[in-house]
Amino acid sequence: MKIIKNPAAESWDSIFARPQMDDSLIESRVCDIIDNVRRRGDRALRELTLRVEGIDLEEFEVSDEEIAAACSAVSDELKGALAVAKRNIELFHRAQLTEGVDVETMTGVRCRQERRAIRRVGLYVPGGSAPLVSTVLMLALPARIAGCKELIICTPPNVAPEILYAAQLCGVDKVYRLGGAIAVAAMAYGTESVAKVDKIFGPGNRYVTTAKQLVSRDVAIDMPAGPSEVMIVADTTAQARFVAADMLSQLEHGGDSQAIAVVFSDDFAGELVRTFGEQLRLLSRREIAESAADNSRVIVVDDIDKALNIINYYAPEHLILSVAEAENIVGRVESAGSIFLGNYSPESAGDYASGTNHTLPTNGWARSISGVGVDSFTKKITIQHITQEGLNLLAPAICAIADAEGLEAHKKAVTIRL
Ligand SMILES: NC(=O)c1ccc[n+]([C@@H]2O[C@H](COP(=O)([O-])OP(=O)(O)OC[C@H]3O[C@@H](n4cnc5c(N)ncnc54)[C@H](O)[C@@H]3O)[C@@H](O)[C@H]2O)c1
Ligand SMILES: N[C@H](CO)Cc1c[nH]c[nH+]1
Ligand SMILES: [Zn+2]
């Protein structure tokens, strides 16, 4: 992991570049998969799953019997932990169900906004390199709170029992053994076995994210939630070993993950690199984290203003502010998916159980897109109710604008009522 001192703004594009892969190769593979599933439905799902995952599937949907068996195989300890996480995620997401607006804009002109749930939602749960049980909670609980009627999950074929338990715990209707772009295409276009959904949610690797972006011409998606990334700003009140542990917690996701620490002294940078190396050597997923460490950096800057410029430029998926006065500084952060304040808010807390959602925009999308929340599972409809008196008052404005646009029939729809 490189230490870089006071990099000039002109070098930021290369220093803070996300790990590159051959996107054109991934895109062409994903395009072929989507096209195949669209044209050939279940036959394509079976052939592609054999080719990509090496598994010959007889049934795509996981049966009730398998789910029941999985539920009894899961330990009581994990069940207890998931209950804690569920409670906190529900509390935080239920609180997001705010009242709609209702405004009388002029006498007799009433405008309001009402929320409606999206009917059928497709939830992608990653399972390539690790079975992300927590993602089931992060997607299914907000969907249920929003009032979605049908929830389906797709996850790579060797489905861990813990995922099935979590699905049952959160009231998911169906679970399909489908992974990557195959799953996204099935949910986007539907096949004989998989019903087309109204919106696709969930994180995943580059195959999943590319597929979601490609099908987004035809079906709504939550956002590009790709390889994990974390930026940590640490001053002398931080502990280097905590910072290193937080970096490694994201680097173990995949070789294309990225962790960037922004610190204020050479000594701290040196101590961080040392403890990072020590902790890395002891990790069970050492090889993955080691290859992601090549994409990672420690940046030394002079002051918090420079650190804030870097944060807002990079727009990290996760930002940890391990600095004195973190609460005072957080208001100056313009772009980040989710922020963790102080020395005792590790990112793992948000990944699993504090209550916030872990499905977050990566690759700089936090500049313009929010992470998943209850709003993601709803749409808001505007409604207006105008009285005769209200229309009389509003008519001159409508008619003048209709005249300016040369749209006579628009004007007539008002004047005929006057
Ligand atoms: N941004 C977020 O909110 C967030 C949250 C959780 C996880 N993540 C990220 O999700 C990712 C999970 O990735 P994963 O790989 O473990 O699981 P995954 O389920 O996303 O991907 C596995 C699937 O990728 C497909 N695939 C793999 N190689 C392929 C190939 N050569 N050709 C075609 N398809 C191929 C297969 O279908 C396989 O089932 C990680 O990068 C992690 O960082 C992001
Ligand atoms: N850090 C991931 C989001 O980038 C979420 C996750 C799930 N499990 C563990 N971590
Ligand atoms: Zn994580």
Residue 347 is predicted with a pLDDT of 98
Q: Looking at the CA of residue 30, tell me the nearest atom of ligand 1.
A: 33
| Contact assessment for residue 249 and residue 258, using Cβ atoms and an 8 Å cutoff | no
318 annotated active-site: yes
Those residues with Cβ within 8 angstroms of residue 360's Cβ, 6 or more apart along the chain or in another chain: 203, 225, 317, 318, 337, 338, 366, 371, 372
Query: What's the CATH number of domain 23-99+118-222, 3.40.50.1980, 3.40.190.10, 3.40.718.10, 3.20.20.70?
Result: 3.40.50.1980
Residue appearing with tokens 């895109």: 27
Quick one: fold of 227-367? Answer: Rossmann fold (3.40.50)
8 A C-beta contact, residue 360 and residue 259: no
CB distance 416 to 409 below 8 Å: no
Which mutation among 132, 133, 338 tests ligand 2's pocket best, with the greatest number of atoms within 8 A of CB?
Answer: 132
What letter would DSSP give residue 356?
S
Extract the runs of DSSP E, i.e. beta strands, from 44-108. 102-106
Distance of CA 48 to the CA centre of its chain: 26
Q: Is 47 annotated as a binding residue?
A: no
Tell me if 248 sits within 8 A of 276, measured CB to CB. yes
Residue 235 near ligand 1, beta carbon < 6 Å: no
Among candidate residues 318, 325, 389, 408, the one labeled active-site is 318
Binding site membership of 207 for ligand 1 (Cβ less than 6 Å): yes
Query: How many Cα neighbours within 13 Å face the side chain of 368?
Result: 4
- The pLDDT assigned to 37 comes to 98
Neighbour tally for 111: CB within 10 Å: 15
pLDDT greater than 90 at residue 20: no
> Does 222 show up as a binding residue in the annotation?
no
Report the nearest atom of ligand 2 relative to the CA of 250: 1
Give the pLDDT confidence of 230-261 residue by residue, as tens digits.
Answer: 999 999 999 999 999 999 999 999 999 999 99
Q: Where in the chain is the domain with CATH 3.40.50.1980?
A: 23-99+118-222, 227-367
- Whether 22 shows a pLDDT value over 80: the answer reads no
Note whether ipTM > 0.95 here. Answer: yes
Which of 262, 258, 240 lies closest to 249, judged by CA? 258
Chain segment 294-344, per-residue pLDDT in tens: 999 999 999 999 999 999 999 999 999 999 999 999 999 999 999 999 999
Cβ-Cβ contacts under 8 Å for 388 (sequence gap 6 or more): 108, 417
Q: What is the mean pLDDT of the chain?
A: 97
Exposure letters 7-45 (e unless 16+ CB within 10 A, then b): beeeeeeeebebbeeeeeebbebbeebbebbbeebeebb
**Structure-derived torsion over alpha carbons of residues 360, 362, 366, 367, reported in degrees to the nearest 10:** -170
Indicate which ligand has the atom closest to the C-alpha of 206. Answer: 1
351 lines ligand 2 (CB under 6 A): yes
Are the beta carbons of 244 and 276 closer than 8 angstroms? yes
In short, whether 125's Cβ falls inside 6 Å of ligand 1 is no
Q: Which of 142, 150, 154 is nearest to 48 (CA)?
A: 154
119 has a pLDDT exceeding 80: yes
Across 98-149, the runs of DSSP E, i.e. the strands, are 102-106, 109-117, 120-124
Using alpha carbons, select from 388, 415, 393 the residue that is nearest to residue 105.
393
Banded model confidence at residue 408, pLDDT cuts 50, 70, 90: very high
Residue 83 is inside which H or E element, if any?
Answer: helix 76-94
Q: Answer yes or no: is the C-beta of 203 below 6 A from any ligand 1 atom.
A: yes
Residues 372, 361: contact at Cβ < 8 Å?
no
d(CA 168, CA 356): 21
Closest C-alpha to 246, from 256, 257, 259, 263: 259
Q: Catalytic pick from 229, 317, 347, 358?
A: 317
Ligand 2 center from residue 228 Cα (angstroms): 7
Tell me the pLDDT tens digit for each residue of 157-209.
999 999 999 999 999 999 999 999 999 999 999 999 999 999 999 999 999 99
Angle 388-405/408-415 helices, nearest 10 degrees? 160
DSSP string, 308-336: HHHHHHH--SEEEEESTTHHHHGGG----
Q: Which residue, chain included where needed, has tokens 């504090």?
A: 354
Q: Give me the pLDDT at residue 225, please.
A: 87
Indicate the DSSP class of residue 285.
T
Instruction: Give percent of the chain above pLDDT 90.
Output: 97
Q: Which residues contact 218 (CB under 8 A, 6 or more apart)?
A: 188, 189
Judge whether 351 is annotated as a binding position: yes
Q: How far is the CA of 250 from the centre of ligand 2 (A)?
A: 7
Residue 96 is assigned to a ligand binding site: no
- What six digits make up the tokens of 154? 């797709």
Contact 97/126 with Cβ under 8 angstroms? no
Residues 399, 384: Cα–Cα separation, whole Å: 18
* Nearest CA owner, ligand 1 atom 17: 128
Residue whose Cα lies nearest atom 36 of ligand 1: it is: 180
Give me the DSSP letters along 31-44: HHHHHHHHHHHHHH
Nearest-atom number in ligand 1 for the CA of 179 is 39
Residue 127 CA, closest ligand 1 atom number: 19
Expressed in angstroms and rounded, the spacing between residue 290 Cα and the centre of ligand 1 is 18
Taking CA atoms only, the protein residue closest to ligand 2 atom 5 is 351
